[in-house]
Amino acid sequence: MKPNDSKSLLNRLSNTVADLPRSGIRDFFEVVSQMKDVISLGVGEPDFSSPWHVRESAIYSLEQGQTGYTSNLGTPQLRNRISGYVEKFFGISYQPEKEILVTVGVSEALDLAIRALCNPGDEVIYHEPCYVSYRPLIQLAHAVPVILETDASDGFKVTAAKLRPLITDKTKVLMLNFPTNPTGGGLTADEVKEIADLAVEKDLIVITDEIYAELTYDREHLSVAAMPGMKERTIFLHGFSKALAMTGWRIGYACAPHELIEAMMKIHQYTMLCAPVMSQQAAYEALRNPEEDIAVMKESYWRRRNFLHGAFTGMGLNCGLPEGAFYMFPEIKPLGISAKDFALGLLESEKVAAVPGTAFGACGEGHLRCCYATSMEELEIAMQRMQRYVDHLRES
């Protein structure tokens, strides 16, 4: 067998990786990238650049020659600010010295959390439709993914009633992400409390991905980690990408009891060593006075959410008003076409890109993820074109 023979190389891959499907997002990206002049509602990031004072501070730190490694946990200054911010915004207090770990985005933190917790065969419950990495990360840790399906009829919520029957004696972890990518779903205080009570009753560890927390529009966000009895069993993950428009810096953090942070740190120190120092400097600056930066961007997303919701409703598409994030998840099922065909047809005939709901789990079928973090001018054109496409489908 020749090592440069591609077929033989495929045979040498780890079974876990060979069995892992490619992200549906990536398939769709390859189709879109072949086309010109597309209006894209397919992005998963803000249309703002990072606040100028954040960028300026990173430039300054580079000029000062701050280019070395940092502590594995992240710089003490940044961990201090994270601790202060999480206490202020979420009402949860973590010690910067031993309960906070700075990571390369929440993506890394998710991977560390699952790997630190799971033995082969442990069951991890997560809700679909969800961010594309949840299931693969569970599989890469040789744990067993257990899907909790959510749907439009109940606003894509996780409820204790839906959760209870999925819990077995092998269930170790529950993963939550509210507000949710791709649905924009959120939870009320009562709903969070019910989930927390069940997690305590069944002795589950909860990983909560709070990346869209600040982008909650019509009520105060409440984290499950803030509920009684939860801090000691929760890994709280957050970052700077969405509310502070810092996706490319790749900077996030995990807050959890010391034992869990220490376990995650073991993997982090051998795989990543530390998050990039310039990104840590930028994140430190971003948390100096984040409320103002966030408020300006949030106001702008709020307006666009209202506009897009009106547009979809006007087209006769069923679309709940999302509680958070910057995504709409309208239902196209009544048009008698699959999500994938709808998305491809919309792209080919009207040059508007939106991601088929199935990229976020099988139960996303019949839906489309439309990101409204794009300019109002483009949103208006995109909605006119989509209206035309929907009319065309109804006529044929």
| Site residues for another protein per CB under 8 A | 23, 25, 28-29, 32-33, 38, 40, 42-45, 47, 49, 131-133, 181, 299, 302-304, 306-307, 310-311, 353, 355, 376
**Of residues 96 and 322, the one with the C-beta less far from another protein:** 322
Q: Residue 194 is inside which H or E element, if any?
A: helix 189-201
Per the DSSP assignment, residues forming a β-bridge with 254 are 101, 237
**Of residues 40 and 180, the one with the C-beta less far from another protein:** 40
**Is 179 within 8 Å of 131 (Cβ atoms)?**
no
Both tokens of 135, joined, read 């299931």
Q: Least CB distance from residue 107 to another protein, whole Å?
A: 9
Which residues make Cβ contacts (< 8 Å) with residue 107, sequence separation at least 6? Answer: 133, 252
Strands 123-128 and 171-176: parallel
Q: Least CB distance from residue 244 to another protein, whole Å?
A: 16
Q: How far apart are the first and last CA of the chain?
A: 54
Q: Least CB distance from residue 34 to another protein, whole Å?
A: 10
Q: Least CB distance from residue 303 to another protein, whole Å?
A: 4
Q: Least CB distance from residue 167 to another protein, whole Å?
A: 28
Rounded distance between C-alpha atoms, residue 112 and residue 143, angstroms: 13
Q: Least CB distance from residue 246 to another protein, whole Å?
A: 13
**Of residues 28 and 236, the one with the C-beta less far from another protein:** 28
**Is 240 within 8 Å of 249 (Cβ atoms)?**
yes
Q: Least CB distance from residue 321 to another protein, whole Å?
A: 9
Rounded distance between C-alpha atoms, residue 177 and residue 130, angstroms: 8
Strands 205-209 and 171-176: parallel
**Of residues 281 and 300, the one with the C-beta less far from another protein:** 300
Rounded distance between C-alpha atoms, residue 128 and residue 152, angstroms: 12
Rounded distance between C-alpha atoms, residue 370 and residue 355, angstroms: 7
Rounded distance between C-alpha atoms, residue 358 and residue 365, angstroms: 5
**Of residues 17 and 295, the one with the C-beta less far from another protein:** 295
Rounded distance between C-alpha atoms, residue 323 and residue 218, angstroms: 7
Q: Least CB distance from residue 270 to another protein, whole Å?
A: 26
Rounded distance between C-alpha atoms, residue 252 and residue 207, angstroms: 14
**Is 13 within 8 Å of 344 (Cβ atoms)?**
no
Both tokens of 228, joined, read 């009684």
**Of residues 163 and 244, the one with the C-beta less far from another protein:** 244
**Of residues 66 and 133, the one with the C-beta less far from another protein:** 133
**Of residues 47 and 149, the one with the C-beta less far from another protein:** 47
Sheet containing strand 355-356, strands side by side: 327-328, 368-371, 355-356
Q: Least CB distance from residue 29 to another protein, whole Å?
A: 4
Task: Classify residue 304 by its DSSP letter.
Answer: H
**Of residues 37 and 190, the one with the C-beta less far from another protein:** 37
Q: Least CB distance from residue 263 to another protein, whole Å?
A: 26
**Of residues 83 and 181, the one with the C-beta less far from another protein:** 181
